Amino acid sequence: MPRIGSTDAIDVWANQHKDKKLYIVLVSIHGLIRGENMELGRDSDTGGQVKYVVELARALGETPGVYRVDLLTRQISAPDVDWSYGEPTEMLSPRNSENLGDDMGESSGAYIVRIPFGPREKYIPKEQLWPHIQEFVDGALVHIMQMSKVLGEQVGNGQPVWPVVIHGHYADAGDSAALLSGALNVPMVFTGHSLGRDKLEQLLKQGRQTRDEVNATYKIMRRIEAEELCLDASEIVITSTRQEIDKQWGLYNGFDVIMERKLRARIKRGVSCYGREMPRMIPIPPGMEFSHIVPHDVDLDSEEANEVGSDSPDPPVWADIMRFFSNPRKPMILALARPDPKKNITTLVKAFGEHHELRNLANLTLIMGNRDVIDEMSSTNGAVLTSVLKLIDKYDLYGQVAYPKHHKQSEVPDIYRLAARTKGVFINCAYIEPFGLTLIEGCCLWSTYGCYPKWWACRYTPGS
Ligand SMILES: O=c1ccn([C@@H]2O[C@H](COP(=O)(O)OP(=O)(O)O[C@H]3O[C@H](CO)[C@@H](O)[C@H](O)[C@H]3O)[C@@H](O)[C@H]2O)c(=O)[nH]1
Ligand SMILES: O=P(O)(O)OC[C@H]1O[C@](O)(CO)[C@@H](O)[C@@H]1O
């Protein structure tokens, strides 16, 4: 597969394959996945990966030469989640209809296909899905075989159109994709999103849990076993950063940076590798769908820009946030993340509470998913919210910290914009952040950044 180094290269590749009728299968089996109004941050399993796979499926569906994309996930019909997650099939409406060639066929486009597996009528956390992987694979095989036959009748001259690739996302879907790839003899690609060995290493460094406790909480050994299987089965592993290859995948038995280069050189020279194989690692940093972002051409340094409530009506979510502050005119420190312990939100609140000068200078806004009742959240998420509320009380931060219960996916750009409007900063202080979509999102909406030094350039302002 030629190295794709830029969007131009992708355009060239698409142009070379535009007459093809490719069928692509993506697999992402945990969390709540739907095409519109995603409930990102609702729980630990519904976050960046959900957004990544939906936007990837949509973009692939609009790529010339790609006829059909199926994003396979779990069908969830449970009283505590919206009925939309129980729909067997959902078409992902194209963002850019002009990209659609005239070869739109009856079954072409990008779809979410929901396969029933695991306890019926229950939405369960990803850690409890492992015993049900085989049931998912059985259901996915039936779907793929049926779809290949249907596509064959439409665009394959009666011959089944098999998937050209099966792309697994995260350990659980990667485990499934490896089984599907073997059963169908279709190449596999894998994206980890977050890796078990790195998570285990970081959690043990924190010293709060023993290895057995980490395993009991996160089923981390089964997850690592699946990731090792993905290394065995995958032709290509897509990573978000170079650091993920060197420092995270380098922890695995099935991958070694030096060995991979040597094997690739031997293959190039047509020399035997004595049966050793390793997947090719390709860093492709996550992008973002920008079509819904409305750039504001207001000069942030102008007086008008700093008037919250100037002539154009303020987005409603601004009032939901500003109502918490006794002095809403202060610059805002914004954190936006799932209320997962690894996002380290409690440390941010503690630092803010203990820094009196900072408290006089700025307000703190915490966007921590959507919640109705804390006691009805998952134990880990509920514990984070409870700790935050206790810290607000301990440091008497009332009137200085906003922690709204709800926000819509479509309001996220306005939330970043509010931070920018107040000349504030965005902070990502996660302990473990393989990439961090929120940093990309803020970039295109004018914010100054701070984030945990380990993962990202510590501070940068777009355009600086
Ligand atoms: O209350 C919230 C919380 C999050 N988000 C969105 O959810 C996404 C969260 O993505 P990210 O910050 O990257 O975190 P994770 O959910 O942990 O995503 C995992 O997968 C991502 C894609 O591979 C990687 O960028 C992360 O490092 C990895 O931890 C972003 O688009 C946020 O805008 C909301 O809309 N509302
Ligand atoms: O924190 P963990 O257990 O590594 O998992 C990261 C989670 O964040 C997500 O992006 C949520 O969509 C998934 O990658 C995964 O469920």
**Going from the N-terminus, what domains does the chain have, and what CATH number goes with each?**
7-283 (3.40.50.2000), 302-460 (3.40.50.2000)
Cα of 45 from ligand 2 centre, angstroms: 6
CA–CA distance, 169 with 192 (Å, rounded to integer)? 6
CA–CA distance, 277 with 274 (Å, rounded to integer)? 9
pLDDT category, 442, cuts 50, 70, 90? confident
Cα of 40 from ligand 1 centre, angstroms: 8
Decide: helix, strand or coil at residue 25. Answer: strand
Would the pLDDT of 464 be above 50?
Answer: no
What pLDDT shows up at residue 15?
82
The residue whose CA is least distant from atom 4 of ligand 2 is: 194
Give tens-digit pLDDT for 223-249: 999 999 999 999 999 999 999 999 999
| Ligand 1 pocket check for 31: Cβ under 6 Å | no
Would the pLDDT of 453 be above 50?
Answer: no
CA–CA distance, 283 with 243 (Å, rounded to integer)? 9
pLDDT category, 162, cuts 50, 70, 90? very high
Cα-Cα-Cα-Cα torsion 112, 115, 116, 118, nearest 10 degrees, comes to: -100
Cα of 337 from ligand 1 centre, angstroms: 6
Would the pLDDT of 4 be above 70?
Answer: no
Residue 12 structure tokens: 């060239």
Cα of 28 from ligand 2 centre, angstroms: 11
pLDDT category, 2, cuts 50, 70, 90? low
Please check whether residue 209 is in contact with residue 67, taking contact to mean a CB–CB distance below 8 angstroms: no
Cα of 370 from ligand 2 centre, angstroms: 16
Would the pLDDT of 99 be above 60?
Answer: no
The residue whose CA is least distant from atom 2 of ligand 2 is: 194
Of all ligands present, the nearest one to the C-alpha of 285 is: 1
pLDDT category, 458, cuts 50, 70, 90? very low
Residue 55 structure tokens: 């936007």
Mean pLDDT for the stretch of residues 58-80: 96
Of all ligands present, the nearest one to the C-alpha of 284 is: 1
Mean pLDDT for the stretch of residues 125-137: 98
Cα of 341 from ligand 1 centre, angstroms: 14
Give tens-digit pLDDT for 17-44: 888 999 999 999 999 999 999 999 999 9
Residue 418 structure tokens: 């509010």
What pLDDT shows up at residue 143?
98
CA–CA distance, 28 with 136 (Å, rounded to integer)? 11
| Ligand 1 pocket check for 441: Cβ under 6 Å | yes
What pLDDT shows up at residue 294?
61
Residue 103 structure tokens: 């070869």
CA–CA distance, 263 with 280 (Å, rounded to integer)? 10
CA–CA distance, 263 with 272 (Å, rounded to integer)? 9
What pLDDT shows up at residue 67?
96
Q: Enumerate residues lining ligand 2, CB below 6 A.
A: 30-31, 45-50, 126, 170, 193-194, 199, 340, 342
| Ligand 1 pocket check for 404: Cβ under 6 Å | no
Mean pLDDT for the stretch of residues 386-406: 98
Would the pLDDT of 438 be above 70?
Answer: yes
CA–CA distance, 423 with 185 (Å, rounded to integer)? 54
What pLDDT shows up at residue 61?
95
Mean pLDDT for the stretch of residues 383-410: 97
What pLDDT shows up at residue 12?
81
pLDDT category, 295, cuts 50, 70, 90? low
Query: Which of 33-37, 106-110, 261-265, 352-356 has the least mean pLDDT?
Result: 106-110
With the most atoms of ligand 2 within 8 angstroms of its CB, the residue from 29, 194, 198 to mutate is: 194
What pLDDT shows up at residue 38?
95
DSSP calls for 100-165: --TT--TT-EEEEEEEP-SSTT----GGG-GGGHHHHHHHHHHHHHHHHHHHHHHHSTTS----SE
Query: Which of 41-50, 265-274, 301-310 has the least mean pLDDT?
Result: 301-310
Cα of 37 from ligand 1 centre, angstroms: 15
Please check whether residue 413 is in contact with residue 292, taking contact to mean a CB–CB distance below 8 angstroms: yes
With the most atoms of ligand 2 within 8 angstroms of its CB, the residue from 38, 170, 432 to mutate is: 170
| Ligand 1 pocket check for 49: Cβ under 6 Å | yes
Cα of 433 from ligand 2 centre, angstroms: 10
Mean pLDDT for the stretch of residues 96-124: 84
Residue 398 structure tokens: 């009332």
Average predicted confidence (pLDDT) for the chain: 89
Mean pLDDT for the stretch of residues 294-323: 69
Please check whether residue 54 is in contact with residue 64, taking contact to mean a CB–CB distance below 8 angstroms: no
Cα of 339 from ligand 2 centre, angstroms: 12
Would the pLDDT of 189 be above 90?
Answer: yes
Degrees, nearest 5: CA angle 34-404-349: 110
- The residue that leads in pLDDT, 156 or 97, is 156
Of all ligands present, the nearest one to the C-alpha of 436 is: 1
pLDDT category, 455, cuts 50, 70, 90? very low
The residue whose CA is least distant from atom 33 of ligand 1 is: 438
β-pairing verdict for 332-336 and 280-283: unpaired
